[in-house]
Amino acid sequence: MPSTESGGTKSAGFWVMSGSVVVVGTSVVVVAALFAARDAVRRPRDPDPPEHAARTTAPATTNTGTRRRTGQGRCGEADIGVRMAGPGLRFGHEGSVREPGIPARSEAVRRPSSVRPGAKRQELIKVTSLAALLARPGVVEELVLSGPASEGVGFLALHGGLESGTAEIARAAAERTRASLYAVIQPDDLAWHIPSHRMSPLDSPKLASFLAHSAVVVSIHGYGRRDLPTALLVGGGDRSAARILAGVLRAALPAYDVRDDVATIPEGMRGLHPRNPVNLSGGGVQLEVPHRARNTRPGRAEFAWNDDSRALVDALADFVDAVSTPA
C-alpha cells in the first residue's frame, strides 16, 4: 500500500507538473505571437521608397508650389521649387518646408502663389540666374535706348508678364516721355519670380546696355497684400529721386497711400539691395504698385487700363519732367 500510494503520488505529481508545462508553454506561444504582431505594426516604412528615391536623386519634377512645399513671396504663398529661391519665384516673397533634394531658398527660384488663367502650372525647376530665365522658350527682352547716353531716364520692368501691368505701364511711360526701356516678359505658361538682385547685367547684354545708357532708373514692380491694398511703395537707392516721385504720385493719385519713408515699406520691397539693377547705375527708384493701380487681382491677372493706371503713367511722365529740368 505504501508503495502504491508512493507510486500514485509520483504519478499525480508528474501529471501536475506536465499540466504546468503545458500551461506555461501555451503562455509563451501567446506572448511571442503578441510581440510579433506588435513588431509588425511598429515596423517602420521603407524610408526611401522608389518614388521618393527618384525625387531626391533626379531633377525635381514635382510641383512644390511651394509643397507642394510652400513658401511666401511677394505675390503671396507660392509653389516653391521654382522660387528663385523656390526663390518660390513664391519667383514674390516666403518660409518653406525643405525636402531632401530640394535646394535651399538661396538656390531655388520663387514662383507666385497662383498661375495666370489659362496657363499651365509649372513643375519644380531650379533657377539661379537671369540667364536661365532668358533661356526659357517664350521669354523675351524689350530694349529701347533713347536720348544721349548716361543722361536720360530709363524705365525697368524685370517681372513683366508675371507681375501683370508692370511692363505695360513702364512701356507707356517710356513712350510718353521718350525715355529708355528694358523689360523682361514671361509667357502665360511661365511663372518664375526671380528676386531683382539676382538679375545681373552680366547675364544680359541688353540689360547692361540699358543701365549704361540711363542716368536715372525707375523700376516698376507689382505686388498684392491685403494689408496694403492702396499703398504705392517708393523705394530704391536714390532717395532724393524717390521723394520727387512720391510727390507727383500723391498729386496724381490722392486716394492712394504713397510711402517714401523706407521704414514704412516692408523690408523685402524696399529696393535697397546693392545688386538690384535699379541701383547699379548710381541709384534709382523702385516703385511697387498694388493690384488696384494695375487693375488686376489674384483671380483676374490680365492687365487692363483703368483711370488709376493711366494716372500712374501721368505721374511717371511728371517725374521725368521734374528730374530732366535743369535746376
pLDDT in tens, 178-227: 999 999 999 988 888 899 999 999 999 999 999 999 999 999 999 999 99
- What residues pair up with 154 in beta bridges, in sequence order? 180, 217
pLDDT score, position 326 = 72
Per DSSP, 193 falls in state: B
Tens of pLDDT, residues 249-292: 999 999 999 999 999 999 999 999 999 999 998 779 999 999 99
pLDDT score, position 298 = 63
Cell of 311: 494716372
Tens of pLDDT, residues 21-44: 444 445 545 555 555 655 554 544
Residue 81 has pLDDT above 70, yes or no: no
Residue 54 has pLDDT above 50, yes or no: no
Average pLDDT over residues 115-128: 50
Residue 64 has pLDDT above 50, yes or no: no
Residue with cell 509588425: 40
Q: Is 234 left (phi over 0), alpha (psi -120 to 50) or beta?
A: beta
Residue with cell 490722392: 254
139 vs 151, residue with greater confidence: 139
Half-sphere exposure of 171 (CA within 13 A, CB side): 16
pLDDT score, position 183 = 99
Average pLDDT over residues 37-53: 44
Q: CA 73, CA 95: separation in Å to the nearest integer?
A: 9
pLDDT score, position 295 = 85
Residue with cell 519732367: 321
Beta strands (DSSP E) in 214-319 are: 214-222, 231-235, 257-259, 285-289
Q: Quote the mean pLDDT of the chain.
A: 73
Half-sphere exposure of 165 (CA within 13 A, CB side): 28
pLDDT score, position 46 = 43
Among 281, 277, 279, 311, smallest CA distance to 294 is for: 311
pLDDT score, position 296 = 79
pLDDT score, position 85 = 32
Residue 88 has pLDDT above 80, yes or no: no
Q: Do the beta carbons of residue 84 and residue 110 sit within 8 Å? A: yes
117 vs 243, residue with greater confidence: 243
Q: CA 149, CA 292: separation in Å to the nearest integer?
A: 35
pLDDT score, position 56 = 34
In what side-by-side order are the strands of the sheet with 140-144?
A: 140-144, 180-185, 152-160, 214-222, 285-289, 231-235, 257-259
Domains present along the chain, CATH in parentheses: 48-128 (no CATH), 130-324 (3.40.630.100)
Cell of 197: 538682385
Indicate the burial class of 13 (C-beta count within 10 angstroms; 0-12, 13-18, 19 or more). exposed
